[in-house]
Amino acid sequence: MAEKNYNAENIVVLEGLEAVRLRPGMYIGTTGSKGLHHILWEIVDNAMDEAANGYADAIAVIIYPDNSISVEDNGRGIPVDINKKHKKSGVELVFTILHAGGKFDNAEYKFSGGLHGVGASVTNALSQWLNVDIYRDGKAYKIEFHSPKYGKKVKSGIIKTPLTEVGKSKKRGTKVTFLPDPDVFATEVISFETVRNRLRELAFLNRNITLSVEDRRVLNDEGKHPKHVFCYKGGLVDFINYVNEAKTKQSNKVIYLEGASENFELQIAIQYTSHYGENIISYVNNIPTTDGGTHETGFKSALTKCLNEYARKNNLLKAKDTNVIGDDYRDGMTAILSVRMQNIQFEGQTKTKLGNPEIKGIVESLTSERLDLYLNDNRNKDIASLIVKAGINASKVREAERQAKDAQRKKNAMTGAVLVGKFSSCTGKNADVNELFIVEGDSAGGSTKQGRDRSFQAVLPLRGKPLNAEKKHKAQIIQNEEIRTIVYALGTDYDRDFNIADLKYDKVIILADADQDGAHIRAILLTFFYRYMRPLIAEGHLYIGMPPLYKIEKKGVVRYAHDDRELDTILADLKSGYVLQRYKGLGEMNGEQLWDTTLNPRKRTLLRVTIDDAAEADLVISTLMGDDVEMRRTFIFEHANFNKVDVFATKLAE
């Protein structure tokens, strides 16, 4: 039967899917952890489309012990009838036809998500097997695929079991189960935390849809499989409360605005905290736009315009006063912006910036219209005047800070010599290869200076703890000596004056001990860079060094382990007769050992710090640095130790 179906069209399908296997990077970016998760998101996106368009309200993800994954929705079920043009069932088309870029023709769904819209066929192509169960019209159906690599051998294309009716069912929906092909993704495994975070985000962005994830690979303390269920009735309002949970609020009120025009929808939530700076988190069709774009620009213009108008109308700004600038109205503001539209164009190196030029005007006029109504509603008088007064105040503070900074600059010029004592620059002058190690403590600093290759590696030892960057105002930040030295060493200035072109190093590497103190210092530094030098992270210049935790010596041969898992592997290999040493800190290593394990680019492991998910990063950082001491303690414990830096960083293969 399968043999007979192996016609010309099947060959085309097979070749299409083989192209995906030949160049996975073209379709999913990488075959590392990110790519592996991408093929899961393709399936989740399809389920989300069904839900966001009102046909489903529950999506369940399960990760199984063999690392296969299932996604189930309670939608209409993918069509099983035969498409006249292709002479194939709808489900077969969904999983075998490549969709270059834009998803389908958008006839079924008004707005379709999907990171790159490559579709479920890419997931199929990169899976060892993929099974689909469909529940529709009182019946259950099943179709099974296997990898094109088998398809070629058995001459049945990639269909292992053709679409069959397997019985009756009262259920409705689609269930897709698949095993990512280890030939493609090597030993990468799906991360429960990553799935949990993305499903939580989707639940915030799509109110009243229940998303769950369960990890059947492990048991928790209660002897159960870890599971999270997310469903938010408040949507973006719940989202902003979550993001600002640990922060002190100027007002607990959340401003919520929504609007629509033809083929366009907009939702905005705004809340003001007592923290310095702005935090705008934006999305297009559920896709995070970490680098902003035209929707953010339109929103900002509208906000500035409406607030200045309100200020004039209510005599908070007098005729002689100049308008308050946008930056000042956004000081302390958290905003979440979600738009839905067609034909998205992404821009920028990482394709995380919305480019469609027409969107600026659409968002600006919709926001202005709704925000005006909101501000001029008598019930909102308190919050309206609070925001406007805060903006006026911020502009005064900014002027005072500018003066303080100018004074400090003059002082710096005179005291630059002070820095020479602790900071050891490198001899080479090539900013494209030079590295700066920021090291915790004088003794570790000493070892690093001895062990480094001084031709391109500079060392900056930190003596005390740098100031907690989140809470303080700028004028205070730059008075902290540790921070001042860092800014001076990097050469970039900071905050609004930050200029990446002046960066003297290709890699800025934080080296801290694997203990609580080290975790704290690392977190403080990350906060500082996140708040005041964000492009340094965005452009991939910030790293966390990974010194080993253990030294294992047998018959004069030395090996190192970064964590307990690596240690177990080595010990199992050596069996007996070894000497084991656990390093309590960097300072216990001599220069040579430090070079061999941590500094030498050929041997070391570095974590590149990314801002993959602005909302999550902000939450972690504000919880680490926020006002709620108890929460901060739990977070440092959970996230800031060496084994879990993945909250901030993804492993870099050098």
Annotated catalytic residues are 440, 513, 515, 517
Q: Which of residues 23-52 bind ligand 28G (CB under 6 A)?
A: 43, 46-47, 50
Joined tokens for residue 649: 């960083």
Considering the rule CB under 6 A, would residue 79 count as an interface residue with ligand 28G?
Answer: yes
Site for ligand 28G in 256-295 (CB under 6 A): none
Q: Which is closer to ligand 28G, CB of 99 or CB of 534?
A: 99
Task: Rule CB under 6 A: say whether 174 interacts with ligand 28G.
Answer: yes
From the CB of 70, what's the least distance to ligand 28G, in Å? 8
Ramachandran assignment for 489, one of left (phi > 0), alpha (psi -120 to 50 degrees), beta (any other): alpha
Site for ligand 28G in 479-518 (CB under 6 A): none
Q: What distance in Å separates the CA atoms of residue 285 and residue 115, rounded to the nearest whole number? A: 9
Q: How far is the CB of 518 from ligand 28G (least distance, A)?
A: 42
| CB distance 67 to 224 below 8 Å | no
CB of 284 to ligand 28G, least distance (A): 21
User: Among 16, 29, 32, 90, which residue interacts with ligand 28G (rule: CB under 6 A)?
Assistant: 90
Q: Please tell me whether residue 238 binds ligand 28G under the rule CB under 6 A.
A: no
Least distance in Å: CB of 285 to ligand 28G? 16
Judged by beta carbon, residue 211 or residue 269, the one nearer ligand 28G is 211
Q: Which of 37, 38, 76, 300 binds ligand 28G (CB under 6 A)?
A: 76
Residue 510, token pair as written in the block: 């934080």
Give 174 or 338: the residue with its C-beta nearer to ligand 28G. Answer: 174
We find the least distance from the C-beta atom of residue 197 to ligand 28G, in angstroms, to be: 19
Residues 351/38, Cβ–Cβ less than 8 Å: no
Q: Which residues of 430-441 are buried (b: 16+ CB within 10 A; e: fewer)?
A: eeeebbbbbbbb
**Binding test (CB under 6 A) with ligand 28G, winner from 14, 17, 69, 71:** 71
Q: Which among 301, 266, 308 has a CA at the least distance from the CA of 111?
A: 266
| Closer by beta carbon to ligand 28G, 171 or else 504 | 171
Q: Which of 17, 39, 93, 213 binds ligand 28G (CB under 6 A)?
A: 93
Provide CB contacts within 8 A for 494, sequence distance 6+: 478, 487, 532, 533
Q: What are the beta bridge partners of residue 542?
A: 508
Task: Answer whether 16's CB lies under 8 Å from 93's CB.
Answer: no
CA separation for the pair 484, 478 (Å, rounded): 5
The token pair that represents 132 in the structure block: 């689909």
User: Is 28 exposed, middle or buried (CB count within 10 Å of its CB: 0-12, 13-18, 19+)?
Assistant: buried
Q: Which is nearer to ligand 28G, 109 or 488 (CB)?
A: 109
Q: Does 332 bind ligand 28G (CB under 6 A)?
A: no
- Considering the rule CB under 6 A, would residue 212 count as an interface residue with ligand 28G? no
E strand spans, 353-505: 353-354, 435-440, 457-462
DSSP for 575-631, please give it.
-SS-EEEE-SSGGGS-HHHHIIIII-TTT--EEEE--S-HHHHHHHHHHHHSS-HHH
Residue whose Cβ sits closest to ligand 28G? 46
Q: What is the DSSP letter of 536?
A: H
DSSP character for 185? H
Token pair, residue 18, equals 């083989």
Asked if 73 is part of the footprint of ligand 28G (rule: CB under 6 A), the reply reads yes
Binder among 39, 94, 268, 439 for ligand 28G (CB under 6 A)? 94
Question: What is the smallest separation between the CB atom of 436 and ligand 28G, expressed in angstroms?
Answer: 46
Q: Quick one: 50 or 364, whose CB is closer to ligand 28G?
A: 50
CA 305, chain centre distance (Å)? 31
Provide the minimum distance between the beta carbon of 13 and ligand 28G in the complex, in angstroms, as a whole number. Answer: 13
What the block records as the tokens of 571 is 């010990």
Nearest CB to ligand 28G, comparing residues 112 and 273: 112
- Tokens linked to 197: 């975070």
Cβ 12 to ligand 28G shortest distance, Å: 16
**Token pair belonging to 447:** 């070892």
Structure tokens that stand for 464 in this block: 């005390």
Among 39, 41, 61, 75, binds ligand 28G (CB under 6 A): 75
Q: Which is nearer to ligand 28G, 78 or 549 (CB)?
A: 78
State which residue, 3 or 81, has the beta carbon closest to ligand 28G. Answer: 81
Site residues for ligand 28G, 175-204, by CB under 6 A, read 175-176
Which of 108, 309, 566, 646 binds ligand 28G (CB under 6 A)? It is 108
Can you give the binding site for ligand 28G, defined by CB under 6 A? Answer: 43, 46-47, 50, 71-73, 75-76, 78-79, 83, 90, 93-94, 104, 108, 174-176
